[in-house]
């Protein structure tokens, strides 16, 4: 029995829906207690205790939805994390309860306090969390506990973002001894962009001493409306990247501070036979969800909003322009698009499912460890290069890929394909499409090398294929050659 736990929230309570994906059946307590894996036992005992509070006959009732009250949600999530089989909003939820994430405040003498979580090798703005609960939170497809010394009444004030605390309120907040990193007051040149293109900007009188740096970066003096500096659109991104690199502060017209992109943190795996890519963009200690980052980049925008106070300047050198279909915050693509991911194979930005990484590495190098001798029904011997071709075909087939045999004429491509057929164990037919002049040769080769083959096959010409395309497309084939 392999249980999956589908969770969702109803106000402050947690709803757990149990699902056995190995056998679609109604679950009862005796079934669960007998067949659950060891890592599920702690959670199931918790569920039993929870159910017994509401019903004496829970052992005879089908288990569909279990409601966990707010005071028990943290413990439920801790136990759920041990199973590693939690689904939230149709995606696997990564739960790590082994290490608490510190809640840190960046403070300014003006009284502005900005809350962040120091997690995932980055500073994540509190407001970017999907859900925040007492002692734990959900962010970027992950759930983890929060470590903080201050009471929840203070934490809840910052759920929507930075706050200005003044007077007695500020004094009482600091008396709780929160973890505060104070902003240093240094004279830093500041550029304010006045439009969404990044081409128009202003420099305050207090920072005029740095005008030379601004002009060398690619801006020029040009008054347009209320703006006094202009940079051509093709140069704007590089100019802003350069200014940020040398220590300038850049602000958007709406007051958001601009941070340059430092990397991408990507998760690459396989889901339902498709490649799935998720993750986030990293911007000088801040992070942005993968989908908005990619959509902003493909839309030709210079930056992406990160939270209520900041935006991220996109760097084309840090982004791989992947193509696929969005499913939530994950980009899904067919396996036939695997070549898009070759640049990520050796990249420190990507965390791979090990099996998928090995498969795509083998595709890139066209080398694999697969050894696939012909089946017993094959009558003949393969040359060394033909056995390599068979190994390659079988490697592709087992992983759901298609392939191309491109040997020159006379080197035995047909024999390699027939040896491949000899390994198949299927009730589905095989379709072979060939020039009309070669149909007789294909039948003769099958009779010679596979005289006792048990599979069903159909050999047709390209003209026949065009005539019967609708009928043939409606059928399910094991292999098409």
Angle between helices 413-421 and 384-398 (to 10 degrees): 50
Whole-number pLDDT of residue 243: 94
pLDDT at 114: 86
Identify which of 281, 306, 303 has the alpha carbon closest to the alpha carbon of residue 237: 303
pLDDT for the residue 26: 67
Give the three-class secondary structure for 155: helix
Write down the pLDDT at residue 437. Answer: 93
Predicted confidence at residue 56, as pLDDT, reads 67
Per-residue exposure over 423-460, b if at least 16 CB sit within 10 Å of its own CB, e if not: bbeeeeebbbbbeeeebeebeebbeebbeebebebebb
* 397 token code pair: 């087939």
Residues 55, 67: Cα–Cα separation, whole Å: 13
User: How many angstroms separate the CA atoms of 16 and 12, rounded?
Assistant: 13
**How far is 45 from 69, CA to CA, in rounded Å?**
16
The residues near 447 (Cβ < 8 Å, ≥ 6 apart) are none
Spans of the chain below 70 pLDDT: 1, 22-26, 54-61, 120-121, 184-186
pLDDT in tens, 372-426: 899 889 998 999 999 988 998 988 888 778 888 888 888 889 999 999 999 998 8
Candidates 348, 329, 346, 355; CA nearest to 276 is 329
> What pLDDT score was predicted for residue 143?
87
Identify the H or E element spanning 241.
Answer: helix 233-245
Report the distance separating Cα 53 and Cα 145, nearest Å.
26
Q: Which two tokens stand for residue 26?
A: 């109604």
pLDDT reported for residue 349: 84
Distance CA 188, CA 207 (A): 8
Distance in angstroms (rounded) separating the CA atoms of residues 71 and 88:
20
Beta bridge partners of 364: none
What one-character DSSP code corresponds to residue 292? H
The pLDDT assigned to 186 comes to 60
Q: Are 214 and 243 in contact (CB under 8 A)?
A: yes
- Model confidence over 182-216: pLDDT tens digits? 876 567 888 999 998 999 999 877 788 899 999 99
What ranges make up the beta strands (E) of 86-149?
Answer: 86-88, 91-92, 94-95, 101-107, 112-119, 122-125, 131-133, 136-139, 142-147
Token reading at 420? 């491949």
């Amino acid at each position: 029995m392999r249980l999956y736990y589908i969770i969702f929230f109803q106000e402050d309570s947690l709803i757990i829906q149990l699902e056995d994906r190995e056998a679609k059946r109604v679950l009862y307590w005796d079934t669960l207690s007998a067949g659950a894996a060891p890592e599920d036992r702690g959670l199931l005992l918790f569920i039993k205790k929870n159910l017994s509070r509401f019903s004496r006959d829970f052992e005879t009732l089908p288990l569909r939805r279990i409601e966990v009250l707010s005071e028990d949600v943290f413990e439920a999530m801790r136990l759920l994390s041990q199973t590693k089989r939690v689904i939230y909003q149709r995606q696997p939820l990564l739960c790590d309860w082994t290490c608490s994430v510190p809640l840190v405040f960046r403070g300014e003498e003006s009284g502005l306090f900005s809350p962040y979580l120091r997690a995932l090798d980055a500073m994540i703005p509190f407001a970017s969390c999907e859900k925040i609960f007492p002692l734990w939170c959900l962010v970027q497809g992950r759930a983890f506990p929060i470590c903080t010394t201050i009471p929840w009444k203070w934490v809840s004030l910052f759920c929507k973002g930075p706050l200005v605390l003044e007077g007695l309120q500020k004094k009482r907040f600091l008396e709780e001894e929160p973890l505060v990193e104070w902003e240093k007051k240094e004279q830093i040149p500041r550029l304010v962009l006045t439009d969404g293109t990044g081409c128009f900007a202003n420099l305050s009188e207090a920072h005029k001493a740095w005008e030379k740096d601004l002009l060398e970066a690619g801006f020029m003096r040009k008054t347009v409306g209320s703006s006094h500096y202009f940079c051509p659109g093709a140069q704007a991104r590089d100019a802003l990247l350069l200014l940020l690199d040398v220590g300038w502060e850049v602000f958007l017209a709406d007051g958001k501070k601009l941070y340059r992109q430092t990397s991408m943190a990507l998760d690459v795996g396989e889901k339902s036979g498709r490649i799935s890519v998720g993750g986030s963009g990293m911007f000088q200690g801040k992070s942005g969800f993968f989908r908005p980052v990619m959509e902003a980049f493909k839309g030709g925008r210079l930056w992406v909003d990160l939270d209520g106070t900041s935006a991220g300047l996109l760097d084309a050198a840090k982004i791989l322009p992947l193509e696929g279909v969005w499913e939530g915050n994950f980009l899904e693509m067919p396996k036939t698009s695997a070549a898009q991911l070759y640049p990520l194979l050796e990249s420190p930005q990507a965390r791979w499912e090990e099996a998928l990484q090995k498969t795509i590495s083998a595709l890139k190098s066209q080398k694999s460890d697969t050894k696939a001798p012909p089946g017993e029904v094959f009558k003949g011997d393969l040359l060394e290069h033909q056995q390599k071709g068979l190994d390659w075909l079988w490697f592709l087939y087992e992983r759901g890929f298609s392939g191309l045999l491109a040997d020159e004429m006379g080197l035995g491509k047909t024999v390699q394909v027939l040896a491949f057929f000899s390994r198949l164990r299927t009730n589905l037919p095989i379709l072979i499409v060939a020039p009309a002049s070669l149909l007789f040769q294909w039948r003769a080769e099958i009779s010679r090398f596979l005289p006792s083959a048990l599979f069903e096959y159909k050999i047709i010409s390209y003209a026949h294929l065009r005539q019967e395309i609708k009928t043939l497309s409606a059928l399910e084939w094991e292999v098409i050659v």
